[in-house]
Amino acid sequence: MSWLPDDFVHPVLVPLPGSDHHLRPIRESDTPLDYPAVMGSRERLWAIFGSAWGWPAATMTYEADQADLLRHEQEITAHQSFNYALFDAAETALLGCVYIDPPEKAGADGEISWWVVDELVDSAVERALDALVPQWIAADWPFEQPRFIGREISWSDYLALPDVPTVQ
Dihedral of alpha carbons 26, 143, 139, 126, sign: negative
Q: CB of 97 within 8 A of CB of 26?
A: yes
* pLDDT of 10: 96
* pLDDT tens-place string over residues 89-142: 999 999 999 999 999 999 999 999 999 999 999 999 999 999 999 999 999 999
Domains along the chain?
14-159 (3.40.630.30)
* pLDDT tens-place string over residues 10-58: 999 999 999 999 999 999 999 999 999 999 999 999 999 988 899 999 9
* DSSP-assigned letters across all residues of 49-117: HHHHH--S-TT--HHHHHHHHHHHHHHHHTTS-EEEEEE-TTS--EEEEEEEE--SBTT-SEEEEEEE-
Mean pLDDT of 60-89: 97
Residue 93 pairs with which residues in a beta bridge? none
Phi-psi region of 68 (alpha: psi -120 to 50; beta: other; left: phi over 0): alpha
* pLDDT of 44: 95
Q: DSSP letter for 143, please.
A: -
* pLDDT tens-place string over residues 50-68: 888 999 999 999 999 999 9
Distance between CA atoms of residues 102 and 36, nearest Å: 27
* pLDDT of 51: 86
What is the reported pTM? Answer: 0.95
Q: Is the pLDDT of residue 166 over 80?
A: no
Q: CB of 94 within 8 A of CB of 116?
A: no
Q: Is the pLDDT of residue 1 over 60?
A: no
Q: How many CB atoms lie within 10 A of CB 75?
A: 15
* pLDDT of 167: 64
Q: How many CB atoms lie within 10 A of CB 161?
A: 15
* pLDDT of 150: 94
Dihedral of alpha carbons 123, 125, 149, 63, sign: negative
- The mean of the pLDDT values for the chain is 95
Tell me how far apart the terminal alpha carbons of the chain are, to the nearest angstrom. Answer: 12
Q: Write the CB contacts of 57 (distance below 8 Å, at least 6 apart in sequence).
A: 64
